[in-house]
Structure 1
C-alpha cells in the first residue's frame, strides 16, 4: 500500500497485512480507524523519532526497531555504574557523549538506523540529514503527538521527571514540529514526517528497511 500526502482510511485487514510504504512528505496516522502495524523505509535511510519526554519514544523504539539508537539506553547503562545518591545532572555530559559516540559509530557503518531525538536538538536532525545525503539516502521523522498530561504520566510511570523549564522547551519544539508537519512541511532535511498519536504508536510493531 503506497500513499501520497496525508494517509487516508484503508480497510483494516489490508493495513495489517502489508507495511505502510513511503509516499508523500507528510502522513498523518492520528485518529485513524485502520492503523498500520509496520512502516517501511528504504535500506540505508535514517529514521528519527521525536516527541515529548515521557511520550513513548523509547517504548516505540524498543518494540518496533531492530536497529535503534536510544539515549535512554545510554542513561540506564551509566545509572547502573553510578552511586544511587549521585544526581543525574552530574554525569549527564558523559551519558550524552556515550550516546552520540554510539550513534556516530552506527552511522559510519552505513546501516539503516532508528534514532531517538528529544525534539529540541535541531542540530541533531541536521547532522543526520547530512549523513543521509552523503549516503544518497533520506532522513524521515516519526513524530509522537501526545498531550502534556500523557507525557507527564509517562514520566511518572518511569520514575523520572524532567524540570518544568526543560519540559516547556520540549513542548515548544514539538509544537513547532507538529504545526509545520500539519501544514505539509517536514522539518528541514527530512524527506518525510509521519504523525502518530498514542493508539497508532501502540499499534506499530515493526519499523523495517528494505531494498
Structure 2
C-alpha cells in the first residue's frame, strides 16, 4: 500500500506519502493564498524525497474540510484528477480529524480551525482517534460555555484563546498530511470504510449572485 495524502482545507498546503507503516515524506507550507501554486510542486517534492513514482500510488487520501470554498476545492479536484489518471480509489477524511490525530491526546478535547468571518470550524473528540460531534461552524462567543477549560487544538483555538481557555500550545496549529495519512492507513488496516471525498463547506461561498440580478437575453 502506498497512500498519497493531501489537504488544502486550511492555510497549510500539505502533502505526504505513507507506505502503510510509516510516513515516507511530507511537505507543509502555510500560505492561504497560494494553494493552487504550491500543491503540485509539493506532490513532486514528496515523491522525489521518498524515491517513489506517482504510478506506484495505490490510493489517494484527501482532506475534505471543513474549510473555505476556494482552498478546499483545490485539493479535492487534484485528488480526483490523480485518482482518475491512476485508476486508484480516492478516500476522504475530515480535516479536523487529521489535526486531532496529530495531537495524540488521550483525553476529551476540541479541535478548532480559523473559519474567517470571526468564526471557527470545530468538533469535539473523545480522544485523538474518536470524534464525538459533527463538524460545525460558529462564532467562538456562541460556544464559549462548551469549550471553556476544555483542552483545545488548532489555529482557531489559538486565535480565540480568550474563549478556548484550555488551548494546547504544544499541539499542532496547522494540518499535517502525514497525520491524515497515518490515520487513514490505520483505518484501512482495521477494515474501516473511509468516506467519499465530498467537501464539507458548512456554509455558502462568499461570492453569490446579487439579489436584484437581472438576466439579459437577446431579443
Q: Per the shorter chain, which TM-score range?
A: 0.3 to 0.5
Which structure ranks higher in relative contact order (CA pairs < 8 Å, sequence separation ≥ 6)? 1
Normalised to the residue count of structure 1, the TM-score between the two structures is 0.33
Normalised to the residue count of structure 2, the TM-score between the two structures is 0.32
Q: Which has the higher strand share?
A: 2
Q: Which has the larger radius of gyration?
A: 2
